[in-house]
Amino acid sequence: MSHYETIRLSHGSGGRLTAELVRDVFLAAFASEPLAALTDAAILESPGGRLAFTTDAHSVTPWRFPGGDIGRLAVAGTVNDLAVMGARPRYLSAAFLLEEGFRLDDLAEVAGSMRRTADEAGVAIVAGDTKVVERGKGDGIYIATAGVGWLPEGRDIGPHRLTAGDVLLVNGTLGDHGMAVMAARQGLDPSGSLRSDVMPLASLVEALLRAAPGTRFLRDLTRGGLAAVANEMVAGRPLGLRVFDARVPLSADVMEIGEMLGIDPLLTANEGKLLAAVPAEEADAALAALRAHPAGRRAAVIGDLLVEPAGLALVETAYGSRRVLEMPVEEQLPRIC
Amino acid sequence: MSDERRREPPGELRGDAYRDPGLVAALAGRVRAAASELGRPLKLMHICGTHEHALGRYALRDLLPPELSLLAGPGCPVCVCDSALIDAAVRLALRPGVVVASFGDMLAVPGSLPLRGEGKGDVRMSLESARAQGGEVRAVTSVFEAGRLAAENPESEVVFFSVGFETTVVATAALLRRDPPPNLSILEANYYTPPATAMLPSLPGFDVDGLLLPGHATAVTGTGVYDGLPALGISCAVAGFEPADILAAVSAVLRQLLEGRPRIDNAYPRVVSRQGNPRALAELAEVFEAAPRRWRGIADIDASGFDLRPAYRQRSARARFPDAFTAEGASAREHPAGCRCAEVTLGQVTPDACALFGGRCTPDNPYGPCMVSHEGTCRAWQQYGMARGRIAVRTA
Amino acid sequence: MCLGIACEVVQVEDRDACLLRVGNGVQRCFTGLVEPLARGDWVLMHAGFAVQRISPAEARANLELVHRAALLQEEARAPSRSPGPPPGADGQDDP
């Protein structure tokens, strides 16, 4: 058995080194039966009914950041895409694009992180692939995932159900992930108090849907933050969306670093937060269910859906004044002005 | 520090004391009362992009009486930055062995060098497009970070694109006085606002009653640099950046108008004084001297920029890499055809007066610097929807 | 033109550098352009450096000024520690 410290091109060529890599890193971490069979595809039991299917690609610099790493990000992100459809996530695949020179112990750390996150979410990683690109042609590690889950009968969650008068909730503080990654990249957080919120939300969603079965819409807040989702929700619809900025939960760190650098937490990425639209009569139950869950301790009602202005997302301040909540245009960079 | 629990600081030191809704409502009431007593249209102006952002973020114009307009004047150091300086930065970024370190504010702003092959028509190169072409560009949050970059990369030349107004240039001076790594040089692109502000009253149609002075720039320079304005009948108040700070300054200006006694009031004394920061000014004076600068699309203004003094000239990117700079007098294209950024910057028109605003020119497809730049007035207006006036809502 | 935040000094590293409390963490800040600082002092930080020290007295005066401008009489009263509003606290600067 060979012992390398870093990934070589031959680790991706399908021969002995690839087999060792799969066995020693991926099988060891993921330990799922379909994977261990080492066939070209996984054969899985299906409960029948509607299938939810999603795919995602992950690239983050640095690959390890306070609160998580690219592995956790990949699993949680895919799980959350399924969960916010109301589906119960079951199986994931993971394809790795590794740059020559990436450290094997780092890869093992990523795989371990994926396994832990998968266990948290109750999913199994059942298929995978590995390719290696030359040094300089990748960014260390990219991960592409796909995920499937099943929708229980009768669940109908989606933007077509949004209704004026619905109440909007989030499950906690916003902007944590984007701010932590940006700070890590810029070397701006010597005390490491900014942490990503990356987290699988499948069980949080189940708890919410049990308490508020009339929930109309769920979306995980990723790149572009709350602002992106808010705009997507109302674009081309006879609905407006209002956020009360005084009610949006923000950590002290995100708030002050955002002030320092001119970065708006409402436009900043999250990886463990969702936005829920529920009928007004179910808002209290929804909030209680979120707050009772570990991933929802700082959940809050933050806004509502309006009849007018149609197609617009807006912020109402503590002063009663109103401004537009823009669709984010590009990634926010730290500013001096 | 691990034993340090977060103590609550005294109320007056905390920003949120100046965001208190009750305080803001009371101040807005005073402003409305004063405006009513004056009984005529009132025109105020600020000269700070950060003030425009505060107005947008908190939608403070909603709280002002309709007869009081508060215009955005020249407050965006990015929007007025001579395109020739951006071109130099782009050339330097593309030069092997050179890394350009820049505040994030500047990265997307186009200069005048054509960008070939983009297929989008008349696109010009920015530091971002230079990076896409393989140029070395790093976003930094301070000049000191650029210094660290130079220390960590002794085999490269690091050029710090020193943009910003007088508030920011003092940090560049401070670093240069402290013997930074030899591979660090400075692309001198800082601007000095008071001469531009002094020019405003002479522009045709200028009828501004009062000015909000920039709270952080005056923290450095002191308020005395604006002494010429009350003499011209312009009431002035130094304003901080929280909602109550801004409304208190507006209130102070209106009080001056009621008394008929223009002067400079300081509504931000926790940070601003008449003499400013003498230490910062001394270090600035040692390293930099006043120089003329081209304000993009506006004018060449004397003593409105900062050049390195002879003793520090080897730190100048212009001295180290002269071939990266356009020859003196060579024309550098200003704003693209039809762009009204110059008039917007001078507060002569609001962004919605421009035919391109919100149509051909939007944040994701910007045409001129005022929309490209985050602190440009047009960007702020589009971002916060300020052209709409008060947004009415209808609930279910 | 100037994003800046008011922060407390939690550690003085040397004449030119301090650690400031930002949120629940710290940020390093260049402090060579203000007078020598001590732990517990407050400064305005912009673009990685301290622009000006915020004295507690001036901070108090500022809040009083703003409250007075709002005609909120309770808050406009000086705190019991000091004998009265500092001169110039009504915001008038002699031109």
* C-beta of residue A301 within 8 angstroms of C-beta of residue A168: yes
* Domain endpoint, select from A90, A117, A151: A151
Distance from CA of B329 to the nearest CA of C (A): 29
Inter-chain CB proximity B143 and C47 less than 8 Å:
yes
Helix A70-83 × helix A104-121 angle, to 10°: 30
- Whether A70 is covered by a domain: the verdict is yes
User: What's the rounded mean pLDDT across residues A95-110?
Assistant: 96
Which of B76, B122, B103 is closest to B172 using CA atoms? Answer: B103
Residue window 21-60, chain C: list those with CB within 8 Å of chain A: 22-28, 45-47
Can you give the pLDDT at residue B328? 56
Alpha carbon distance A278, A110 (integer Å): 36
Encoded tokens for B87: 């071109």
Can you give the pLDDT at residue A192? 78
Tens-place pLDDT, residues A124-160: 999 999 999 999 988 999 999 999 999 999 999 999 9
Inter-chain CB proximity B216 and C70 less than 8 Å:
no
Does residue B365 sit in helix, strand or coil? strand
Using a CB-CB distance cutoff of 8 angstroms, which residues of chain B are in contact with residue A317? 58-59
Residue window 240-269, chain A: list those with CB within 8 Å of chain C: 251-257, 259-262
Domain around A100: 32-151
- Whether A197 is covered by a domain: the verdict is yes
* Domain endpoint, select from A151, A180, A205: A151
* CA B177 from centre of chain: 25
The string over B253-275, giving b where at least 16 C-beta atoms fall within 10 Å of a residue's C-beta and e elsewhere, is: bbbbbeeeebbbbbbbbbbbbee
Encoded tokens for B373: 């730049």
Using a CB-CB distance cutoff of 8 angstroms, which residues of chain A are in contact with residue C22? 253, 256-257, 260
Whether residues A147 and A217 share a domain: the answer is no
| C1, C72, C92 ranked by CB distance to B48: nearest | C1
H or E element in which residue B101 lies: strand B98-103
- Whether A6 is covered by a domain: the verdict is no
| B49, B263, B266 ranked by CB distance to C1: nearest | B49
Q: Are strands B137-140 and B98-103 parallel, antiparallel or unpaired?
A: parallel
Phi, psi of B11 (to 5 degrees): -55, -40
* CA A142 from centre of chain: 16
User: What's the rounded mean pLDDT across residues A21-36?
Assistant: 92
- Whether A189 is covered by a domain: the verdict is yes
B256 in contact with chain C, both atoms CB, cutoff 8 A? no
Which of B75, B145, B80, B133 is closest to B106 using CA atoms? Answer: B80
Whether residues A144 and A170 share a domain: the answer is no
- Whether A11 is covered by a domain: the verdict is no
Inter-chain CB proximity A323 and B145 less than 8 Å:
no
Phi, psi of B322 (to 5 degrees): -60, -30
Torsion on CA atoms A157, A161, A167, A170, rounded to nearest 10: 30
User: What's the rounded mean pLDDT across residues A177-195?
Assistant: 86
Can you give the pLDDT at residue C78? 38
Q: How confident is the model at residue B200 (pLDDT cuts 50, 70, 90)?
A: very high
Does residue A88 sit in helix, strand or coil? strand
Can you give the pLDDT at residue C91? 31
pLDDT of residue C86 exceeding 60, the answer is no
Using a CB-CB distance cutoff of 8 angstroms, which residues of chain C are in contact with residue A189? 25, 27
Tens-place pLDDT, residues B180-189: 999 999 999 9
Can you give the pLDDT at residue C73? 43
Whether residues A66 and A83 share a domain: the answer is yes
Alpha carbon distance B61, B44 (integer Å): 12
Whether residues A101 and A164 share a domain: the answer is no
* C-beta of residue A252 within 8 angstroms of C-beta of residue C23: yes
Beta bridge partners of C27: C20
Can you give the pLDDT at residue B2? 38
Tens-place pLDDT, residues B104-150: 989 999 888 888 765 556 678 999 999 999 999 999 999 999 999 99
Using a CB-CB distance cutoff of 8 angstroms, which residues of chain B are in contact with residue C56? 10, 12-13
Alpha carbon distance C44, B214 (integer Å): 14
C39-43: long-range contacts, CB 8 A cutoff, minimum separation 24: C39/C9, C39/C10, C39/C11, C39/C12, C40/C8, C40/C9, C41/C8, C41/C9, C42/B9, C42/B13, C42/C6, C42/C7, C42/C8, C42/C9, C43/C6, C43/C7, C43/C9, C43/C18
Inter-chain CB proximity B364 and A329 less than 8 Å:
yes
Q: Which residues contact B258 (CB under 8 A, 6 or more apart)?
A: B34, B37, B38
Interface test with B, best of A237, A327, A337 (most B CBs within 10 A): A337
Using DSSP, how many helices (H) and how many strands (E) does chain A show? 10, 13
pLDDT of residue B87 exceeding 90, the answer is yes
List of chains touching C (3+ CB pairs within 8 A): A, B
| B144, B145, B165 ranked by CB distance to C1: nearest | B165
Whether residues A86 and A221 share a domain: the answer is no
Whether residues A310 and A248 share a domain: the answer is yes
Cα nearest neighbour of C7 on chain A: A256
Tens-place pLDDT, residues A73-83: 999 999 999 99
CB half-sphere exposure, B271, CA atoms < 13 A: 33
- Whether A8 is covered by a domain: the verdict is no
Inter-chain CB proximity B223 and C71 less than 8 Å:
no
Beta bridge partners of B289: B307
Alpha carbon distance A96, A114 (integer Å): 12
Q: How far apart are the first and last CA of chain C?
A: 24
Which of B219, B355, B347, A294 is closest to C4 using CA atoms? Answer: B219
pLDDT of residue C95 exceeding 60, the answer is no
Using DSSP, how many helices (H) and how many strands (E) does chain B show? 15, 11
* C-beta of residue A197 within 8 angstroms of C-beta of residue A273: yes
Distance from CA of C21 to the nearest CA of A (A): 10
Interface test with A, best of B64, B383, B390 (most A CBs within 10 A): B383
Report which of residues C3 and C84 the model is more confident about: C3
| C3, C7, C25 ranked by CB distance to A194: nearest | C25
Neighbours of A328 (CB within 10 A): 22
Whether residues A239 and A185 share a domain: the answer is yes
- Whether A244 is covered by a domain: the verdict is yes
Whether residues A87 and A175 share a domain: the answer is no
Helices (H), C1-95: 56-69, 73-76
Alpha carbon distance A215, A272 (integer Å): 19
Can you give the pLDDT at residue B367? 85
Using a CB-CB distance cutoff of 8 angstroms, which residues of chain A are in contact with residue B134? none
Alpha carbon distance A147, A162 (integer Å): 26
Longest dimension (CA), chain C: 43
* C-beta of residue B220 within 8 angstroms of C-beta of residue B285: no
Helices (H), chain B: 21-38, 49-57, 83-94, 127-132, 143-152, 166-176, 193-199, 215-221, 228-231, 243-259, 278-287, 317-320, 341-345, 369-372, 377-384
Encoded tokens for A129: 């692939």
DSSP one-letter string for B111-172: -SSB-TT--SSS-B--HHHHHHTT--EEEESSHHHHHHHHHH-TTSEEEEEEEE-HHHHHHH
| A186, A322, A326 ranked by CB distance to B391: nearest | A322
Can you give the pLDDT at residue C88? 34
Helices (H), chain A: 16-21, 28-30, 33-36, 70-83, 104-121, 176-186, 202-211, 225-234, 252-261, 283-291
Whether residues A49 and A141 share a domain: the answer is yes
Taking 3-state DSSP, the helix, strand and coil percentages for chain C, each rounded to the nearest 5, stand at 20, 35, 45
* C-beta of residue B161 within 8 angstroms of C-beta of residue B189: yes
pTM recorded for the entire structure: 0.92
Using a CB-CB distance cutoff of 8 angstroms, which residues of chain B are in contact with residue C67? 23
Cα nearest neighbour of B76 on chain A: A337
| C33, C58, C72 ranked by CB distance to B23: nearest | C72
Q: How confident is the model at residue B7 (pLDDT cuts 50, 70, 90)?
A: low
Q: How many domains does chain A have?
A: 2
Q: How confident is the model at residue C81 (pLDDT cuts 50, 70, 90)?
A: very low
Residue window 218-277, chain A: list those with CB within 8 Å of chain B: 240, 242, 252, 259, 261-262
Whether residues A248 and A187 share a domain: the answer is yes
Beta bridge partners of C43: C7, C53
* Domain endpoint, select from A100, A121, A151: A151
Inter-chain CB proximity C22 and A256 less than 8 Å:
yes
Can you give the pLDDT at residue A329? 85
| C3, C19, C26 ranked by CB distance to A336: nearest | C3
CATH code for the domain in which residue A318 is found: 3.90.650.10
Whether residues A189 and A142 share a domain: the answer is no
* C-beta of residue B246 within 8 angstroms of C-beta of residue B55: yes
CA angle A116, A139, A135 (to 5 degrees): 120
Whether residues A197 and A146 share a domain: the answer is no
CATH code for the domain in which residue A109 is found: 3.30.1330.10
B19 in contact with chain A, both atoms CB, cutoff 8 A? yes
- Whether A298 is covered by a domain: the verdict is yes
B235 in contact with chain C, both atoms CB, cutoff 8 A? no
Cα nearest neighbour of A227 on chain B: B383
Report which of residues A34 and B319 the model is more confident about: B319
